[in-house]
Amino acid sequence: MTAEDLERRSSVACPTIIDLRGEPMNAKLKICTVIFIAAILAMAGSPVLADDYPSKGVNYVIPFGPGGESDITARHQQPFFKKLFGQDMIISYKPGGGGAVG
């Protein structure tokens, strides 16, 4: 590709982007690159806008009845959750459906 070809191509609406091999990028790759850079920039600002989680109590759904191993484990987790996040962990039991309900 000569300098004149690059000059002619650069007169289009968007400037010519040169890849690592020194050749102009094709249109699809150029669009993907722009979208990728826009996504990275959008994610860079998102932690600033994020709220503290959790801001209220968390519902812990157990798909079995009370008294089983799931219940005992959830009850042991409650004080640690309260200590770490400062919010209550509310345990709800939804037995039935072979455990698929919760």
88-97: per-residue pLDDT in tens?
999 999 888 7
Q: Are residues 13 and 39 in the same domain?
A: yes
Q: Are residues 36 and 67 in the same domain?
A: no
Q: Are residues 33 and 67 in the same domain?
A: no
pTM over 0.75: no
Q: Are residues 42 and 62 in the same domain?
A: no
State which residues form the domain around 85.
58-99
Rounded CA-CA distance 91/93 in Å is: 7
How many residues are there in the chain? 102
Q: Are residues 43 and 66 in the same domain?
A: no
Is 76 a residue whose pLDDT tops 90? yes
Number of domains the chain contains: 2
Q: Are residues 71 and 90 in the same domain?
A: yes
Q: Are residues 8 and 41 in the same domain?
A: yes
Q: Are residues 67 and 42 in the same domain?
A: no
Q: Are residues 45 and 62 in the same domain?
A: no
Residue 100 CB partners (closer than 8 Å, separation 6+): 63
What pLDDT score does 45 carry? 67
Q: Are residues 65 and 45 in the same domain?
A: no
What pLDDT score does 102 carry? 59
* Contact present, 63 and 97 (Cβ < 8 Å): yes
